Amino acid sequence: MSDANDGQRFDRLPATADEREVAGRATRHEVIEWWVDRFGLPEDTFDGYTFWEKGAGKIWIFADDVPSPTDVEGLGMTFLRTRQEHWKPTTNAVQRFGRAAARNVIVLDPDEATRFLAGEDLEPAWDGDWGYLIVAHEIAGGVEPIGVGLYVHDELRSVIPKGRRASLSPPE
Amino acid sequence: MTPLERYESLVDDVEAFRAACDRPLPSVVRVNTIKATVERVREALDEEGIAHEPADWHPGVLRLPEDSPGRNWPHAHGWIHGQEEVSNLPAQILDPQPGDRVWDACAAPGSKTTQLAALMDDSGLLVGNDNNLGRLSALRHNAERLGVTNLVVTNQDARNFSLKPLGEGSDDPATVDAFDAALVDAPCSCEGTIRKNPDAFDTWSLDHVHSVAGVQKGILRRAIQATCPGGTVVYSTCTFAPEENEAVLNHVLQEEACRLVDFDAPLDGIPGVTEWEGEEYDPSVEKALRIYPHHNDTGGFFCAKLEVGE
């Protein structure tokens, strides 16, 4: 087993630091702990999922399992960026799993939500943590995550990827 | 002669067929049950003043008579996906269950793949394959937007698809040696999409029909080989040419251990044809379903269900 990350294939994350063989690779335990600590998700949210690294620090979540390593184009969903100072969740992971979040969720008003989706930076009222937040709004009787925002220096930066940004038609 | 005139001897109501082919298709979305319920999507569309009505055969298929599917909040959340009404049929017919291992042989851009994932409750193993790397990025984009986590994306020629990347032959407990079910939504001459793509006939030729039929035979044979005995393979195209439909079924019935089975079709259509231009096909190809645009005011479609033998 090589001790370097091979960015061209999927490798299952080690369960814990004791089982880590590739330097700098996040463990399953750390990844789950990060989501639970940062966003207050229930501890059992990710039971049954496997976690994989392909590319430097790009973590994927997969609902099933396959032998590791595996050479395919995609395995589940891109989930989290590690190997950088602050770990960053993906928009799609936040939309999929963020509904259960209990903290670091900022709920925007309708106008702010529309501007955030279009990629605009905002200055909403927020007295919680700095860093990556789950950005949400009220729709159809509930709070729904839109994506990821970076809150620094009293500013909420939209980090919705270009391919997911949208200008919504104004209501009739 | 246009390609459509070629099939008038097969059509039950030629006038209605011609008239339907000249009308544009309505905008239709499928509710993505991985992320939302039909009720919540309808409430969200109401909040934005977007008119919607369910298809009478499926509450999760919504027609948007005045809107395009992409510029609204339900779309931004991945709650809905623009998908032509009739193209919702093959995944319904395949009817995969949570926990199954399913192969979508020609998956990009992923409308039917993501529908399969939703039918599986995003659990089990879904392999979405396509031979075109560019189209795979569309598949991955759609799958991620819709919140699919049980999808393995592969880039192979489906005709000789290898299970080696999934561990075939190893003793790893996570190895996949065969699938429970497969969908072959085959590349085709797309005659049935004329209402959506008015230039679909610009590149039509009989040579292309024969050439693509050869590819279809290869893919369907491999799907049957890669599926467990007793498993299900659904074959679909969006075209009318019997060379690409019944003749392909006739070929695999001769070459592989499989049989055609009956299925309950929620959309109107007529049985497969057993002869065409001097060729006779296995009588069981009548179990397939031909859907013409005038039957349900949709695109044209062909769908067949096969059971894999020993």
Last residue of a domain, one of A49, A79, A97: A97
pLDDT digits (tens, 9 = 90+) for B123-154: 999 999 999 999 999 999 999 999 999 999 99
User: Same structural domain for residues A131 and A147?
Assistant: yes
pLDDT greater than 60 at residue B161: yes
- Listed residues A75, A97, A119: the one ending a domain: A97
With cut-offs at 50, 70 and 90, classify the pLDDT of residue B66. confident
Q: Which domain holds residue A43?
A: 11-97
Query: From the annotation, which residues of B make up the binding site for S-adenosyl-L-methionine?
Result: 106-112, 130, 157, 185
Q: Supply the CATH number for residue A143's domain.
A: 2.30.130.60
- Topology of the domain covering B3-24+86-308: Rossmann fold (3.40.50)
Q: Could you tell me what percent of chain B has a pLDDT over 90?
A: 90
Q: Identify the closest residue of chain A to B45 by CA–CA distance.
A: A140
By CA distance, what is B71's nearest residue in A?
A168
For the cut 70, the answer to whether the pLDDT of residue B9 exceeds it is yes
B238 part of the active site: yes
* A163 shares contact with chain B (CB less than 8 Å): yes
The CATH code for residues B26-83 is 3.30.70.1170
Strand, helix or coil for residue A158: strand
B21, B188, B190, B238: the catalytic one is: B238
Shared-domain flag, residues A58 and A108? no
Structural domain contains residue A167:
no
Pairs of CB atoms within 8 A across A/B: 111
Is residue A172 one of the residues assigned to a domain? no
B86 pLDDT exceeds 90? yes
Per-residue pLDDT band for A2 (boundaries 50, 70, 90) equals low
Which of A92, A117, A165 has the highest number of chain B CBs within 10 A, making it the mutation to test binding with B? A92
- Residue ranges, CATH 3.40.50.150, chain B: 3-24+86-308
Terminal CA-to-CA distance of chain A, rounded, Å? 60
**Overall number of domains in chain A:** 2
pLDDT at B196 (0 to 100): 86
Same domain flag for A16 and A50? yes
A92 plus A69 within the same structural domain: yes
Write down the pLDDT at residue B1.
Answer: 64
Q: Which residue of B has its CA nearest to A96?
A: B147
Could you report the per-residue pLDDT of A120-162, keeping only the tens digit for each? 999 999 999 999 999 999 999 999 999 999 999 999 999 999 9
Q: Is residue A137 part of a domain?
A: yes
Q: Which helix (H) or strand (E) holds A37?
A: helix A28-39
Q: Identify the helix (H) or strand (E) that includes residue A111.
A: helix A110-117
Shortest Cα–Cα distance, A11 to chain B (Å): 13
Closest residue in chain A to residue B123, using alpha carbons only: A63
Q: Above pLDDT 90, what percent of chain A?
A: 88
Residue B65: per-residue pLDDT: 87
- A:81-110 residues touching chain B, CB 8 A cutoff: 90, 92, 95-96
Residue A158 and residue A134 share a domain:
yes
Read off the pLDDT of residues B182-205 as tens digits, 9 standing for 90 and up: 999 999 999 999 898 888 888 899
B172 contacts in chain A (CB < 8 Å): 67
The residue among A46, A77, A111, A148 with the most chain B CBs within 10 A of its CB, best to mutate, is: A77
pTM metric for this prediction: 0.97
| Least Cα separation, residue B207 to chain A (angstroms) | 33
User: Domain ends where: A48, A70, A97?
Assistant: A97
What's the pLDDT score for residue A169? 61
- Tell me the ipTM for this assembly: 0.95
Q: What pLDDT does B258 receive?
A: 98
Inter-chain residue contact B150 with A140, CB threshold 8 Å: no
**Which of the residue ranges A130-139, B62-71, B203-212 would you say has the lowest mean pLDDT?**
B62-71
Asked if residue A37 and residue A77 are part of one domain, the reply reads: yes
| Residue limits of CATH 3.30.70.1170 in chain B | 26-83
The string of pLDDT tens digits covering residues A88-125 is 999 999 999 999 999 999 999 999 999 999 999 999 99
Q: Is A138 on the interface with B (CB under 8 A)?
A: no
Q: Is residue A171 pLDDT above 80, yes or no?
A: no
Q: How many angstroms separate the CA of residue B49 from the nearest CA in chain A?
A: 7
pLDDT at residue A172 in the model: 41
Domain match, A67 and A108 both: no
So what's the pLDDT on residue A1? 47
A42, part of any domain? yes
Do residues A16 and A75 share a domain? yes
| Residue at A170 is within a domain | no
